[in-house]
A and B are shown apart, each in its own frame.
Chain A
């Protein structure tokens, strides 16, 4: 009797182990399936002109499809738009985020800092579509038009909490002896922060910035009501502009342009996943 019970318990144990292993490995399936599909359907669209030419008009694409040729043009307008908006967003979000993160790391006990910390969580959890609405109300309505500025403000708001958190957390785990040594040498707090703490925390902050970029680069919803999109290459920041994820959305909705969808997705996916892996690798390297 007790032998049977023991067998039963051991069998249950084994079942649990195998169940866990099986179900856990199954979660890799969607990643491989998505990567595989995007790779297989997108790789043959990669060509020089795909990255240097703007998207064709629906009419041009229709003509090409009728003639049985590949659709002319590419996603250069999206790539340039993404670079411009992301560049402006990083330019503002990085310094402000680092300063704000330093504030949180320096004043752990003050009421105000706790309030700011709570708000950072709040903003981080806010759905991106709402950031889009807000930027529309704040920027697009007063400026009377969609623009690259509006898009970059939306991206900037999304990046801020991520950079603040990574800065704060990296500064907090630095040994206090580091700061104390700097202060003991006669440096004031600002000097110690600039010359000792921030350089020591550089790795963590840098990987945080990379992760923040990879998080917002694929964002579509906040750009739909701010940057709107534009079918030619444009550098003006006060006019509508395109972005790679916006182009994917456009291709998805336009039957004539559907052939371009997978190339654009592959480009975006490769970029995001490389950034992700790079930041993970750097984090590991700098932690040692």
Chain B
């Protein structure tokens, strides 16, 4: 096999990515077109109605966009107090020791648990606790879903942040120590400022993961098609409304669900792109 044929074969294999991604966008856009044409793009985004009585069908994405943003944001807030210590534990305090590798194995395993099992655990263990604490009567809702989501994104945020914390040059830290700084001061005055943009970008990527998480949210969010008015109320996320109704939908409803899929795809793509660009920049510095 000469070089030319080899190159052509590799090139053809690489063509699969543009074909698949182009196909994804093409299929989503053409199939979502009906819904956008029928309701108008902006109207579809801002309408909060979701009724499928025949003849008077009205679909809007606002409740689900709100649901997704609320669960993601809450999950991020719940995740930080745990993922940041894990990152410091693995990347600074116990860097390179056996106990650090045990902890990173634990977080890796957390990342490996299928989302449907997280959903089961949330439904059968966490939901009764929420009910017992009288936080919400039905147990499921935005809060329950985001608590489990937070656990699911801890590994992603922690492992990447730890990588950036590890990369902080030793001489910077030693300089601070020689001036009499304590370890806590070195972390807050040297490690965080240097690794900050990297840590920040790892949270952006964690958001990207939380946005599209489907099964866990579907099992825990309560599945009501209204705009959630508090963090304990039920709702639906973009992914969960698709998971719930895609199988039974046709015509305009199917198109509306695909339109929601397109919006979700664009949001995650944008978030991931921002995260990746920031990571590249952070690695250079």
Chain A residues proximal to chain B, CB less than 8 Å: 9-10, 12-13, 15-17, 19-28, 30-31, 33-34, 37-38, 96, 99-100, 102-104, 106, 112-113, 115-116, 119-123, 125-130, 132-134, 136-138, 157, 160, 164, 188-191, 193, 214-215, 217-221, 224-225, 245, 248-249, 252, 261, 265, 268-269, 272-273, 275-277, 280
Given A34-B113, A225-B247, is A125 in contact with B208 using a C-beta cutoff of 8 Å? yes
Contact assessment for B1 and A276 in the assembled complex, using a CB-CB cutoff below 8 Å: no
17 more A-B residue pairs beyond the given contacts A31-B110, A220-B215, with a C-beta to C-beta distance below 8 A: A16-B187, A17-B184, A20-B85, A24-B82, A27-B82, A30-B151, A37-B121, A38-B121, A119-B21, A122-B273, A188-B2, A189-B7, A218-B114, A218-B115, A218-B117, A265-B120, A276-B112
Name the residue among A22, A137, A217 with the largest chain B CB count within 10 angstroms: A137
Does chain A have a CB within 8 A of B172? no
Contact assessment for B114 and A96 in the assembled complex, using a CB-CB cutoff below 8 Å: no
Contact assessment for B247 and A128 in the assembled complex, using a CB-CB cutoff below 8 Å: no
A157 to chain B, nearest CB (A): 6
Given A9-B185, A128-B212, A134-B24, is A19 in contact with B85 using a C-beta cutoff of 8 Å? yes
Name the residue among A24, A31, A261 with the largest chain B CB count within 10 angstroms: A24
Contacts of A225 in B (CB 8 A): 246-247
Contacts of B243 in A (CB 8 A): 129, 221, 224
Contact assessment for B14 and A104 in the assembled complex, using a CB-CB cutoff below 8 Å: yes
CA distance A136 to B109 in the complex (A): 31
CA distance A100 to B154 in the complex (A): 31
Contact assessment for B21 and A37 in the assembled complex, using a CB-CB cutoff below 8 Å: no
CA distance A188 to B7 in the complex (A): 11
Given A20-B93, A23-B81, A134-B27, is A127 in contact with B183 using a C-beta cutoff of 8 Å? no
Contact assessment for A12 and B182 in the assembled complex, using a CB-CB cutoff below 8 Å: yes
Contact assessment for B6 and A23 in the assembled complex, using a CB-CB cutoff below 8 Å: no
* B residues 258-283 touching A (CB-CB < 8 Å): 258, 261, 264-265, 268-269, 271-273, 276
Contacts of B108 in A (CB 8 A): 276, 280
- 23 interchain pairs (CB within 8 A)? A16-B184, A16-B187, A24-B85, A24-B88, A33-B121, A37-B121, A99-B14, A122-B272, A125-B269, A129-B264, A133-B28, A133-B257, A134-B23, A134-B27, A164-B17, A188-B1, A189-B7, A219-B114, A249-B215, A252-B116, A265-B120, A269-B117, A277-B105
Residue of B nearest to A189 (CB): B3
The residue that A30 contacts in the complex, of B110, B114, B182, B187, with Cβ under 8 A, is B110
Q: Please list the 6 inter-chain residue pairs (A to B) with the smallest Cβ-Cβ separation, ordered nearest first.
A: A127-B212, A218-B114, A99-B13, A190-B6, A125-B272, A23-B85
Contact assessment for B18 and A115 in the assembled complex, using a CB-CB cutoff below 8 Å: yes
Given A37-B125, A129-B212, A190-B1, is A96 in contact with B16 using a C-beta cutoff of 8 Å? yes
Contacts of A133 in B (CB 8 A): 28, 242, 246, 257-258, 261
The residue that B213 contacts in the complex, of A20, A127, A164, with Cβ under 8 A, is A127
Contacts of B50 in A (CB 8 A): none
CA distance A106 to B32 in the complex (A): 38
